[in-house]
Structure 1
Amino acid sequence: MSEHSTSISRTTPHASMFSPSEGVAMERHTTLPSVTRTMPGNATVEGRLTSPVARVPESTTRCGGITVKGHTLKTFAYTTDAAVIRNTNANAILAVYPFTGEPIITQALLTVAQQPLFVGVGGGTTTGNRVIELAMVAEMQGAAGVVINAPAPAATVEAAMSAIDIPVIATVTTDDEVTEEKILAGAAIINVAAGRNTAAVVASIRAHHPETPILASGGASDESIIATIEAGADALTWTPPSAQQLQSQMMARYRGE
Structure 2
Amino acid sequence: MSAKPTMHMFSSSESIAIEQHSATPSVSRTSTGTATVEGRLTSPVARVPESTAQAGGITIKGHTIRTFAYTTDAAVIRNTNADAILAVYPFTGEPVITQALLIVAQQPLFVGVGGGTTTGTRVVELAMVAEMQGAAGVVINSPAPAETIEAAMNSVDIPVIATVTADDEVTEEKILAGAAIINVAAGANTTAVVTNIRAHHPEIPILASCGSTEDNIFNTLQAGADALTWTPPSAQQLQSQMMARYRGEMAE
Q: 2:157 aligns with which of 133, 152, 165?
A: 165
Describe the superposition over 1:24-61 as per-residue Cα deviations: whole angstroms up to 9, x where unpaired: 63344423221111235311111111100000011111
Give structure 1 regions of 4+ aligned residues with deviation exceeding 2 angstroms: 10-22, 24-32
Change in 2 beyond 3 A, CA 1:89/1:17: closer
User: 1:111 is paired with a residue of what secondary structure?
Assistant: helix
Describe the superposition over 1:80-114 as per-residue Cα deviations: whole angstroms up to 9, x where unpaired: 00000000000000000000100000000000000
Q: Paired residue for 2:16? A: 25
**One-letter amino acid of the counterpart of residue 15, structure 1:** M
Distance in 2 separating the partners of 1:99 and 1:227:
32
Change in 2 beyond 3 A, CA 1:20/1:209: closer
Q: Paired residue for 1:144? A: 136
User: 1:15 is paired with a residue of what secondary structure?
Assistant: coil
**One-letter amino acid of the counterpart of residue 255, structure 1:** R
Identity of aligned residues (%): 79
RMSD over aligned Cα atoms = 1.7
Q: Paired residue for 2:88? A: 96
CA-CA distance at 1:185 after TM superposition: 0.4
**One-letter amino acid of the counterpart of residue 121, structure 1:** V
Q: Does the CA-based 8 Å contact 2:114-2:141 persist in structure 1?
A: yes
Q: Paired residue for 1:80? A: 72
**One-letter amino acid of the counterpart of residue 157, structure 1:** I
Q: 1:71 aligns with which of 63, 77, 80?
A: 63
Q: 1:55 aligns with which of 38, 47, 51?
A: 47
Task: Select the structure that is richer in helix.
Answer: 1
Q: Number of matched residues?
A: 248
User: 1:204 is paired with a residue of what secondary structure?
Assistant: helix
Structure showing greater Rg: 1
Change in 2 beyond 3 A, CA 1:20/1:42: closer
CA-CA distance at 1:12 after TM superposition: 3.1
Change in 2 beyond 3 A, CA 1:256/1:203: same
Distance in 2 separating the partners of 1:242 and 1:112:
16
CA-CA distance at 1:222 after TM superposition: 1.1
Distance in 2 separating the partners of 1:215 and 1:125:
22
Distance in 1 separating the partners of 2:231 and 2:31:
29
Distance in 1 separating the partners of 2:164 and 2:189:
12
CA-CA distance at 1:139 after TM superposition: 0.1
Distance in 2 separating the partners of 1:21 and 1:143:
38
Q: Does the CA-based 8 Å contact 2:21-2:42 persist in structure 1?
A: no
User: 1:146 is paired with a residue of what secondary structure?
Assistant: strand
Change in 2 beyond 3 A, CA 1:140/1:175: same
CA-CA distance at 1:15 after TM superposition: 2.8
Distance in 2 separating the partners of 1:92 and 1:17:
36
Q: Does 1:200 align with 2:192?
A: yes
CA-CA distance at 1:19 after TM superposition: 6.7
Distance in 2 separating the partners of 1:190 and 1:241:
24
Distance in 2 separating the partners of 1:104 and 1:209:
36
Q: Paired residue for 1:124? A: 116
**One-letter amino acid of the counterpart of residue 206, structure 1:** R
Taking structure 2 as the reference length, what is the TM-score of the superposition?
0.94
